[in-house]
Amino acid sequence: LSHAVGRKSKDPIIALNDGDVVKRAKKAGAIPLLVSNTPEMCMCWETFNNVTGITWNPYDTNRSAGGSSGGE
């Protein structure tokens, strides 16, 4: 998985190794599929950036997911 902290001018960071939490989750049978969307450089209250756009609320697409980390 890659992560660019919502910044177009930053090359995505691709982890070479899994972190401890991911290792434990995989060992328990989890299959990681994605990363959260964040505002550019985590500098805003809403989940919007110029790389992936806005994170919409999956239950009402007229609303954002809210929060600084995609409404987690």
DSSP the chain: -EE-TT-TTSPPEE-SS--HHHHHHHHTT----------GGG-SSS-EETTTEEPEETTEEEEE--STTS--
- For the cut 60, the answer to whether the pLDDT of residue 1 exceeds it is no
Give 26 or 61, the one with higher predicted confidence.
26
Say whether pTM exceeds 0.85: no
Backbone angles phi, psi at 11, to 5 degrees: -65, 135
CB 34 within 8 A of CB 40: no
Residue with tokens 């999956």: 58
Residue 69, pLDDT > 70, answer no
20-28 mean pLDDT? 95
